[in-house]
């Protein structure tokens, strides 16, 4: 069955993204992730979408804000997302904002680094997967989109312990998290705010997923779903399908 391939960094994001007409790939550094995507892309792949949480770069964006990518910026290139797919995403998520997303191989955790990155690129958000997805999509001639929800806003520092606790497969290593906190007890003060941001971010991501429906908002799948719904309504009203 034709499907969209969703790419995430965290296992929790992958569980949210997975659904009808959607396959998911999760975790890994840039090279590993690119290899996983390339291996998963088959003839029935309709398009690639980067999906998950992100760090905020624009000071105007609060935790929980959904960003639909217009352009994916990396250190070496810029790739425009698919116009029709992005338009559909913005219609399905009415309060989403549209703008550039930066993809980087490292986690951007410090407010001053976020500020500099925003100033140099004009991007609204940053993540660690979108640039890899954009590169594969461009090489394969596939439509590409990005839906990212702000978790840590531009003015907030992401604790180092939270970053080091993420395993290559996208799961969280609680033992590593606890050990990191013990080594740097000053970060304990940041933990409550980070936890609240994470809860808000994941709740907003789940809402976005519900709004997007099968195939993460891919236009032809939405049209097919609409046609099927109309056929059912016609049959219910007249007893026949036209």
- For 110-153, the pLDDT digits (tens) are 999 999 999 999 999 999 999 999 999 999 999 999 999 999 99
Cβ proximity of 147 and 95 under 8 Å: no
What residues contact 194, with CB distance under 8 A and at least 6 apart?
Answer: 152, 156, 158, 159, 162
- Per the model's pLDDT, the better-predicted residue between 3 and 115 turns out to be 115
> Does 228 have pLDDT greater than 50?
no
Please, which pLDDT band fits residue 232 given cuts at 50, 70 and 90? very low
> Does 1 have pLDDT greater than 90?
no
Please, which pLDDT band fits residue 234 given cuts at 50, 70 and 90? very low
- Per the model's pLDDT, the better-predicted residue between 235 and 184 turns out to be 184
Task: Give the mean pLDDT of 196-217.
Answer: 95
Q: What is the pLDDT of residue 179?
A: 77
> Does 231 have pLDDT greater than 50?
no
Q: What is the pLDDT of residue 85?
A: 97
In the chain the domains, ranked by start, together with CATH numbers, are 3-238 (3.40.50.1580)
What residues contact 122, with CB distance under 8 A and at least 6 apart?
Answer: 99, 100
Q: Can you read off the two tokens belonging to residue 107?
A: 């986690």
Position of tokens 């978790």? Answer: 151
Q: What percent of the chain has pLDDT over 70?
A: 91
Q: Within 13 Å and on the Cβ side, how many CA atoms surround 156?
A: 24
> Does 163 have pLDDT greater than 90?
no
> For 37-83, how does the pLDDT look when each residue is reduced to its tens digit (9 = 90+)?
988 887 789 999 999 999 999 999 999 999 999 999 998 899 999 99
Task: Give the mean pLDDT of 180-200.
Answer: 81
Q: Can you read off the two tokens belonging to residue 172?
A: 């969280």
Of the candidates 90, 5, 93, the residue with the CA atom closest to the CA atom of residue 51: 5
Q: Under the phi-then-psi rule, with left for phi > 0, alpha for psi from -120 to 50, and beta for the rest, what region is 206?
A: alpha
**Strand (E) or helix (H) holding 177:** helix 174-183
């Amino acid at each position: 069955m034709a499907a969209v391939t969703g790419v995430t960094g965290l296992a929790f994001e992958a569980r949210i993204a997975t659904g009808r007409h959607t396959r998911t790939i999760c975790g890994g550094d840039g090279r590993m992730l690119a290899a996983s995507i390339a291996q998963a892309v088959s003839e029935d792949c309709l398009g690639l979408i980067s999906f998950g949480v992100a760090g905020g770069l624009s000071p105007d964006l609060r935790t929980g804000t959904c960003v639909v990518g217009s352009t994916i910026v990396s250190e070496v290139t810029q790739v425009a997302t698919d116009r029709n797919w992005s338009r559909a995403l913005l219609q399905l998520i009415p309060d989403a904002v549209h703008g550039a997303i930066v993809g980087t191989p490292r986690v951007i955790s410090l407010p001053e680094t976020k500020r500099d990155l925003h100033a140099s690129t004009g991007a609204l958000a940053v993540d660690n997967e979108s640039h890899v997805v954009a590169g594969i999509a461009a090489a394969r001639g596939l439509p590409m989109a990005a839906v990212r929800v702000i978790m840590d806003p531009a003015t907030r520092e992401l604790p180092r312990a939270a970053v080091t606790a993420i395993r290559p497969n996208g799961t969280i290593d609680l033992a590593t998290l606890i050990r990191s906190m013990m080594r740097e007890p000053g970060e304990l003060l940041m933990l409550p705010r980070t936890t609240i941001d994470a809860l808000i971010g994941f709740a907003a991501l789940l809402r976005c997923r519900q709004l997007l429906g099968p195939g993460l908002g891919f236009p032809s799948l939405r049209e097919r779903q609409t046609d099927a719904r109309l056929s059912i309504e016609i049959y219910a009203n007249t007893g026949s399908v036209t």
